[in-house]
Chains A and B, each alone.
Chain A
Amino acid sequence: MNPVQYRRAESVEDAFPGAQWRLLGGGTNLVDLMRKGVEHPAGLLDVTGLSEEIAASDDGGLVIGAAARNSAVAAHPLVRRRYPMLARAILAGASAQIRNMATVGGNLMQRTRCAYFADAAGSRCNKRAPGSGCDAIGGFTRYHAIFGASPECVATHPSDMAVALAALDARVNVAGPGGTRTIPLAEFYRLPGDRPDLETTLGADEIIVSVAMPASPFAGASAYRKVRDRASYAFALVSVAAGVTLRDGVVDDVRIALGGVAARPWRALRAEETLRGTRPTDEAIDAAITAELASAEPLPGNEFKIELVRRTTVAVLSELRGTPA
């Protein structure tokens, strides 16, 4: 690891240290990537002293400070009661030790776990070194994308939390030297295209201040299910965040977001549109997710994800159908 400076930010205004610095949350991803030679910041600005408040908003929603630890969010009574899908998603991620360290802002900004990205010494990666090539394509692609990838990059975003946030229509409040703005989570992550090194729409000199969620009608009928290679402490092969409300047995509103399948949480909008206004029989759910999967482009090593997404979505939604909203 290269020599690095360290200091703690006293305020949001203090948190714009310059391009060679990185903001440090729990460090669970950044410290590891520095040790692996993927990241070499000149300095680390510890932002864990900034807002970690979790507070109800006037519109029935919730605002979570970017420095809130993942474990604190998942354990918070309002999150558990109003957004159980979010609590479940966070609890599906990493281990208890890592959730105690990781912040909400850091969780959103974590990098892909593509093994070729992390292998600075031995693998080509367009995300790590733009223009150098991609050794994942043609390599071991079990954990890689089936939606929205490009010939430059097939990496997935590893967050569970962000998948639930996508389903819940969360917004990311950010601040920069020029002021504050709000980015819908749906627009926060970029697809790789020809610039896989650009992962988010956050400016280089901006900081995430908080994440806001609108009131959710899905508290009573929502779920997060994660399918992985071992029962716990593993990244998703596929995950499904879903919520549904019914009126007279017909789908009034539905949200489906998929994890482990793209460079961003994949909101299954086509499946949602197909289901809205229908009776959610197994056949209808199957047809809806199959319509979404029509645009999937699996790699030779991850074709199984098509069937896994289909079956997991049908299982989750058919369970929710039986849950009173």
Chain B
Amino acid sequence: MDITVNGTAVAPPDDARVSLLDMLRDHLHLTGTKVGCNQGACGACTVLIDGRRVLSCLTLAAQAAGREVTTIEGLDPHPLQAAFVERDGLQCGYCTPGQICAAAAMIDEVRAGVPSYVTADLSAESVPFSRDEVRERMSGNLCRCGAHNGIVDAILEVADGSTV
């Protein structure tokens, strides 16, 4: 069973130890997805599987067989990219592909009414697109340059503008 990466069918690696992250970067040369901690703590390796954000470092490539993987290369061009630049949502840029993949999926989650830990009323059918909500929902993506304020601004701008 093949893995579909940004619309192209790819055979999974023979060695079951290969992570989705390593397959993307080392086998397919899709180096937009970044290696940060390689232990599920930083979010730099975030990609989408069947539209949901996951960590590619803790996903074995074999687990993605039969599924659709979307990386930052597959999202490009995305309105979040321009918003991150405009709002200074980055400094060194290393965490940015993961931030944008995570944010794109997060906007869909909020629009689908998925609650977060800071959502006051869990039984409500819709949740607000507030600064606190975005900060909580993006907590899986660290930025060591400290560009979080700009990241939240960029996400709120795109979400409010309904440009996605």
* A residues in contact (CB < 8 Å) with B: 1-6, 24, 26-28, 31-32, 34-36, 44, 46, 48, 71, 74-75, 80-81, 84, 87-88, 91-92, 94-98, 100-101, 226, 231-233
Contact = CB atoms under 8 A, between A and B. Distances in A.
Contact of A28 (B46, B52, B55): B55
A158 to B, nearest CB: 13
A121 to B, nearest CB: 15
B40 interface: yes
Contacts of B39: 32, 35-36
Interface in B48-64: 52-55, 58-60, 62-63
A75 B111 CA distance: 13
B43 A97 contact: yes
B58 A46 contact: no
Contacts of B119: 91
Interface stretch (B15-23, B69-77, B82-90, B153-161): B15-23
B122 interface: yes
A84 B122 contact: yes
* Top-4 shortest CB links A-B: A95-B140, A232-B139, A6-B16, A91-B117
B102 A97 contact: yes
30 contacts: A4-B16, A5-B16, A26-B58, A28-B58, A31-B59, A32-B39, A32-B58, A35-B39, A36-B39, A71-B114, A74-B115, A75-B114, A75-B115, A84-B123, A91-B115, A91-B119, A95-B140, A95-B141, A96-B140, A97-B46, A97-B53, A97-B54, A97-B55, A97-B102, A98-B55, A98-B140, A101-B54, A226-B117, A232-B136, A233-B140
A181 B104 CA distance: 43
A56 to B, nearest CB: 16
A154 B137 CA distance: 32
Interface centre among B19, B117, B135, B141 (most CB of A within 10 A): B117
Interface residues of B, number: 37
A80 to B, nearest CB: 5
A96 B106 contact: yes
Contacts of B117: 88, 91-92, 226, 232
B109 interface: yes
B116 interface: yes
A90 to B, nearest CB: 9
Contacts of A5: 16
Given A6-B60, A101-B55, A95 B16 contact: no
Nearest to A5: B16
B38 interface: yes
Contact of B16 (A26, A44, A98): A44
Contacts of A34: 17
Contacts of B139: 95, 231-233
Contacts of A2: 17
A307 B82 CA distance: 48
A128 B115 CA distance: 37
